[in-house]
Amino acid sequence: MEGARKPAHILLGSGGIATEERRERYRSIVTEHFSGFNEVVFVPFASQDHSAYTASMQEFLGGKGPTLLGLHESSAPVQTISEANAIYVGGGNSFLLVKELHERGLVSPIRESVLSGSPFLGVSAGANVACPTMMTTNDMPIVHPPSFNSLSIIPFQMNPHYHPGKIMFRDGEDLKEHFGESRARRISEFHRLYDTPVLGLWEGSYVKWDGSRGLLEGRATAFKSSGESLEMKDGAIFDAVLDLM
């Protein structure tokens, strides 16, 4: 991102690590983003087993990454966040994550810490919670958060795990099209009520956001409330309303 300050935030559409290539790529993204930080506060609240999730992510990073400090272990989580040098929000269920953040009084402290300069990395639900609201998640409402309002670290909405085309299913030896509603249709329903643009982040893609501009690694589709959509390719630079720069 020539001429821009170093991106402070990384938003990944997926933490999917099904192949060794993706595992290694994921490790490198995390370790490079948090280079220079020995400890990073890890927010595991999108998962129901906070300790197991934190331990599994630490094990996955191995000796290449920073030490993850599970926020669930802090007796003063608001203070921990206010003193955090870097914050990593893991993936899982967005409803569960937002509920926990609100009930623990962490929404404003995390936002203030990040906007004050603490590097932030969010994966899947962790990327969705960086938006103004969680209303463009794909997750099932397994719990009822007191509010859909999220961190507002970025000014647009995201739809992690976005799938752009036909959904196929296997019928015996044949692949057939499933005629259920698409992600684009769901996003259009959001835009009947709200004007905020939505970035559909394809699987395996991520965004570097520096506070005013985003750099796309991978692919994405930008949706506007006007009904317009724009396919973004690897290396695209865009602004706060998802217009290319």
Give the Cα separation of 179 and 138 in Å (integer).
18
Angle at CA of residue 233, ends 199 and 126, nearest 5°: 35
In the residue annotation, 139 being an active-site residue is answered as yes
In the residue annotation, 124 being an active-site residue is answered as yes
Give the Cα separation of 218 and 200 in Å (integer).
12
Closest CA to 130 of 83, 91, 161: 91
Residue among 47, 94, 118, 139 flagged as catalytic = 139
Residue among 124, 150, 191, 205 flagged as catalytic = 124
**Alpha-carbon separation of residue 21 from 28, 161, 173 (angstroms):** 11, 18, 29
Exposure string over 125-145, b if 16+ CB within 10 A, otherwise e: bbbbbbbbbbbbbebeeeeeb
Could you write out the DSSP letters of every residue in 136-163? T------S--S--B---SSSSEEEEEE-
Task: Give catalytic residues, as residue numbers.
Answer: 124, 139, 161
